[in-house]
Copies of this chain bind each other. A is one copy, B any other.
Amino acid sequence: MTIQIFDLACRDERIYFSPYCWRTRMALKHKGLEFESLPWHFTDKDKIERTGEGRVPVIIDGETWVNESSEIAIYLDQAYPERPPLMKDAAARATARFIDAWCTTSVFPALRPICVLDVYKIIIDRDRDYFRSSREKMLGARLEDLSTDPEAERAVLNRTLRPMNEMLAHYPFLGGDEPTYADYVLFGTLMWADTVCPQNPIDPATHVAAWFDRLLDIYDGFARKTPRARD
């Protein structure tokens, strides 16, 4: 049975840009599970009311609803143990949690000045007031004032990614030879910029850029083929 995913959408409902939804999209591809996206907008809180949270991703798998991307990844491994594991043991789950928290504390703060205004430009009209007021409150600045020096902001992002870059000098993925859920956590985070921004801010000369390319290519180019706002 096809899994359904409430997936954050734009005016153009072919474009999916949520970093958390991208984690789940890649997780579903990794497990080889069929899924379809249900376009969801920030002001569609009522559609996912039964989760008790106002955020996506939320998946519906038969009778089961699961929300929050980390919980969805754990659920998929439990519900489909015969398929390739996203996290094969507690060490892999701990690593994915660490990378998730590192994204929260380090990578997202570096991405926000780069991405947030571009998100605002592509979402549907009825989402805009909510998005502007919630983000301006969180970030303490007008959306239009978040980015002041794009080149410096890209430099901060690439400096923030240095631990990943150093690791990738030795191994192709956080999972070692193959991607694991920890890879998708960071990849999804960076897909935020790749889907909404005029250009991908990752320094193309880095190992991170090569790793990002590898993950654009896997699953028959699933992530590479997704429409971008810049297209």
Binding site for B on A (CB under 8 A): 88-95, 97-102, 104-106, 159, 162-167, 170-171, 173-177, 180, 182
Contacts and interface: CB of A to CB of B under 8 A. Distances in A.
Given A95-B95, A101-B162, A102-B102, A89 B176 contact: yes
Contacts of A167: 94, 97-98, 101
Given A95-B95, A106-B163, A163-B106, A177 B90 contact: yes
Contact of A95 (B91, B101, B166): B91
A200 to B, nearest CB: 22
Contacts of A164: 98, 101
Contacts of A95: 91, 95, 174, 182
A101 B208 CA distance: 14
Given A90-B176, A98-B166, A105-B162, 19 more contacts: A90-B171, A91-B95, A91-B174, A91-B176, A92-B176, A93-B171, A94-B170, A94-B171, A94-B175, A95-B182, A97-B166, A98-B99, A98-B163, A98-B167, A101-B162, A101-B163, A101-B166, A104-B166, A106-B163
This chain: how many copies in the complex? Answer: 2
Say whether chain A's binding surface is mostly helix, strand, loop, or mixed. Answer: helix
Contact of A92 (B91, B97, B99, B105): B91
A17 B91 CA distance: 28
A91 B162 contact: no
Contacts of A175: 90-91, 94
Contacts of A98: 99, 163-164, 166-167, 174
A20 to B, nearest CB: 16
Contacts of A97: 166-167, 170-171
B163 A102 contact: yes
A30 to B, nearest CB: 14
Q: Which of A97, A104, A106, A177: most chain B CB closer than 10 A?
A: A97
